[in-house]
Amino acid sequence: MSKLWGGRFEGSTDEFAEGFQSSIGFDSRMYREDITGSIAHAHMLGAQGIIPQEDADKIVEGLRSILADIDAGKVEFSVHDEDIHMNIERLLTERIGDTGKKLHTGRSRNDQVATDFRLYMKRMADETTERLIALCGTLVDIAEENTDTIMTAYTHLQKAQPTTLGHYMMAYFEMFYRDIQRFLDCKKRTDVLPLGAGALCATTYPIDREMVAGELHMSGITRNSLDAVSDRDFALEYLAAASICMMHLSRLCEEIILFSTNEYGTLRLSDAYSTGSSIMPQKKNPDMAELIRGKTGRVYGDLAALLTVMKGLPLAYNKDMQEDKESAFDAADTLKACLRVMDGMLKTAEWKKDKLRAGAGLGFTNATDAADYFVKNGMAFRDAHAVVGHLVLYCEQHGKALDELTLKEIRQFAPEAGEDIFRAISLETCVNTRNVPGGPAPGMVQEHIRQAKMLLGEL
Ligand code: ARG
């Protein structure tokens, strides 16, 4: 079987080299984009009188039947035809005869592959956003049930101040909501049609690029043909957004793993999202969370791979760029799967409210509030800091929490202390009085939740 580009060749491609340079093994997943792109191109060729209308109709009909057959799993692709673009063109000509050979008029595989890849990555951005919206909804649900579930907040992984599980969940909501914004933003620049750029210097045919963009529901056309076929920054933007999102997932996973240890014991993962050990009968491992954390490295690798492929490439198309797809596909597959697993894991996990509350009572999480109590009674903050520091040391030596001290003991360090100090340093007071926008007071978190629901509703 001769190559579609075989005219100027006398010899045939080495068999191993043919497999080496073919991309059908991974670009066949763009078949839908390739065919819808070709249908739009054919419609335009007919409408502009570049090919006879009846030929355009025949081509469109042929392409539709190929699409249906691929959907039904009836088509086998061949490495001989290198990539999805030439495989489909070959199938078309086999089906409708010589008319099929007119489809590639005024077009190159270079603008074709850029179009297919943009359409595909636009779909990936949409599908990723969908998953992120679901995850954000779950975080909001958990937050809503826990605006007064007191827990510890940490810095340096040392107990710092009390907060609530609602406040904590809404922190992750913010991170994932920004991820949504990044994918939506990246989609805007992806959603631009390169077709019409030809191989690199456009075409002499009177094509109508706006018509093709309209049919493909793309928001505009590229403004320079050399750029259109030679940059892959839209895929890099997806990869960068995916890397940031994986970083957020990985941090959440790290906390899930910690919280579900026997030492913390504040979170119990459901059996549906845990695994056992082949030797230790007692084990219930947070494998899903660990795997998401691990896959973060893989997505960073995908970003680094494509950045490195693209660096130093002269304009315009170079075959190096065939290496763009596997990284982007792998990152999209990985991220979407991780988002789905995270959503399920969180939905089914059980937070141990008593343990969360008890943990917050240890480690002097109310020390800042004790210092603030003395400040409100006229002491300078730095002095109050020192007084409470001494109190903490005393507590450690006597195995007590701050609120377990007697007023007499406290007055040894700060004679100005009154009975009202106990109320001031109760964990509930600590949380409730952090009543500023962004703070953990239940009313503030409820307001945040209200805004979050509105933001998600607008997407
Ligand atoms: N399979 C190629 C790719 O993925 C399609 C474009 C090939 N163009 C070319 N002139 N070799 O990049």
User: Does 292 share its domain with 146?
Assistant: yes
User: Does 230 share its domain with 199?
Assistant: yes
- As a whole number, mean pLDDT of residues 214-220 equals 98
pLDDT for position 407 = 95
**Inter-axis angle of helices 442-458 and 109-145, to 10 degrees?**
150
Q: State ipTM.
A: 0.96
User: Does 217 share its domain with 151?
Assistant: yes
User: Does 59 share its domain with 155?
Assistant: no
Among candidate residues 89, 105, 121, the one where a domain is terminated: 105
Residue 127, domain member (yes or no): yes
Give the domain range for residue 275: 110-355
Residue 431, domain member (yes or no): no
User: Does 240 share its domain with 381?
Assistant: no
- State pLDDT tens for residues 175-197: 999 999 999 999 999 999 999 99
Tell me the C-alpha to C-alpha distance, in Å, between residue 391 and each of 203, 288, 371, 394, 412. 81, 43, 10, 5, 9
Residue from 4, 83, 108, 229 to probe ligand 1 pocket by mutation (most atoms less than 8 Å from CB): 83
**Inter-axis angle of helices 109-145 and 233-259, to 10 degrees?**
30
Residue 273, domain member (yes or no): yes
User: Does 186 share its domain with 60?
Assistant: no
pLDDT for position 108 = 98
Q: Whose alpha carbon is nearest atom 2 of ligand 1?
A: 322
Residue 441, domain member (yes or no): no
Among candidate residues 85, 105, 125, the one where a domain is terminated: 105
Cα separation, 299 vs 197, in Å, equals 31
CATH number of the domain bearing residue 147? 1.20.200.10
C-alpha 214, offset from chain centre: 28
Query: Which ligand 1 atom is the nearest neighbour of the CA of 84?
Result: 1
Active site residues: 156, 277
Tell me the C-alpha to C-alpha distance, in Å, between residue 356 and each of 12, 137, 162, 163, 341. 70, 23, 10, 10, 24
Ligand 1: centre distance to CA 187 (Å): 23
Provide the number of structural domains found in the chain: 3
- As a whole number, mean pLDDT of residues 138-146 equals 98
User: Does 200 share its domain with 309?
Assistant: yes
Cα separation, 266 vs 93, in Å, equals 64
Residue 440, domain member (yes or no): no
Ligand 1: centre distance to CA 158 (Å): 54
User: Does 91 share its domain with 123?
Assistant: no
- As a whole number, mean pLDDT of residues 196-211 equals 98
List the beta bridge partners of residue 379. Answer: none
CATH number of the domain bearing residue 92? 1.10.275.10
How high does pLDDT run on average in the chain?
A: 96
Residue from 86, 110, 118 to probe ligand 1 pocket by mutation (most atoms less than 8 Å from CB): 110
User: Does 263 share its domain with 395?
Assistant: no
Among candidate residues 355, 376, 407, the one where a domain is terminated: 355
Percent of the chain with pLDDT over 70: 100
CATH number of the domain bearing residue 384? 1.10.40.30
**Residue that the structure tokens 């005393």 belong to:** 394
User: Does 175 share its domain with 224?
Assistant: yes
Residue from 24, 109, 320 to probe ligand 1 pocket by mutation (most atoms less than 8 Å from CB): 109
- What are the tokens at 325? 């797809």
Contact between residue 238 and residue 125 where contact means Cβ atoms under 8 Å apart: yes
Examine the pLDDT at 259 and tell me if it is beyond 90: yes
Cα separation, 297 vs 281, in Å, equals 30
Cα separation, 33 vs 272, in Å, equals 36
- State pLDDT tens for residues 329-386: 999 999 999 999 999 999 999 999 999 999 998 999 999 999 999 999 999 999 999 9
Q: pLDDT grade, residue 153 (50/70/90)?
A: very high
Ligand 1: centre distance to CA 55 (Å): 26
User: Does 289 share its domain with 411?
Assistant: no
Q: Whose alpha carbon is nearest atom 1 of ligand 1?
A: 83
Ligand 1: centre distance to CA 110 (Å): 6
pLDDT for position 6 = 84
- State pLDDT tens for residues 26-43: 999 999 999 999 999 999
Ligand 1: centre distance to CA 113 (Å): 7
Query: Which ligand 1 atom is the nearest neighbour of the CA of 22?
Result: 1
- What are the tokens at 425? 């340093």
**In this structure, what is the dihedral angle of CA atoms 281, 272, 302, 330, given to the nearest 10 degrees?**
120
- State pLDDT tens for residues 318-330: 999 999 999 999 9
Which residue ranges have their beta carbon within 6 Å of ligand 1? 23, 27, 83, 109-110, 113, 317, 319, 321-322
User: Does 314 share its domain with 203?
Assistant: yes
Q: Backbone dihedral region of 277: left (phi > 0), alpha (psi from -120 to 50 degrees) or beta?
A: beta
Examine the pLDDT at 8 and tell me if it is beyond 90: no
Cα separation, 85 vs 28, in Å, equals 9
Q: Whose alpha carbon is nearest atom 11 of ligand 1?
A: 319
Residue 454, domain member (yes or no): no
Residue 446, domain member (yes or no): no
Q: pLDDT grade, residue 283 (50/70/90)?
A: confident
Residue 233, domain member (yes or no): yes
Confirm whether pTM is higher than 0.80. yes
Percent of the chain with pLDDT over 90: 94
Q: How many CA atoms lie within 13 A of 337 on its CB side?
A: 14
Output 29 or 8, whichever has higher pLDDT. Answer: 29
